Amino acid sequence: MSAKKIEKLLKQALLKNGKMSHSLYEFELEEIVDDLKQSMLDDQNDYIFSVTENNGHVAMVLIEKTGQVSINEEAREKLKKFWPVAYENNMQMLIPALAKQLDGGDIPINGVNQV
């Protein structure tokens, strides 16, 4: 799938409240949760999130400093709460880069520090 098609799918899921796939989360993201937690600790992030796409489906995970793991729609809603004013603008800027990474075969990981 091309980066442009992936970008369209990510926009649907992240900006238009589209449905996300729990089975895709289990297939691609669940196995990296421990690595994400460690990365978050190593980098001293406040939270970390990742998205993936496969065969037209999108999945997302968000992990908080407390260790709380949120999946898919719940993760999206948490991120909206963390970025109450900037969520849409941040996603508009991030989605093309996320799509490019996914198109290249990588799962994008984003550690965030609140200011």
Residue 1 has a pLDDT of 72
Is the pLDDT assigned to residue 39 strictly greater than 90? yes
Asked if the structure places residue 115 within a domain, the reply is no
Residue 115 has a pLDDT of 72
Number of compact structural domains in the chain: 1
Q: Which domain holds residue 41?
A: 3-110
Which residues are 47's β-sheet partners?
64, 112
Is the pLDDT assigned to residue 8 strictly greater than 80? yes
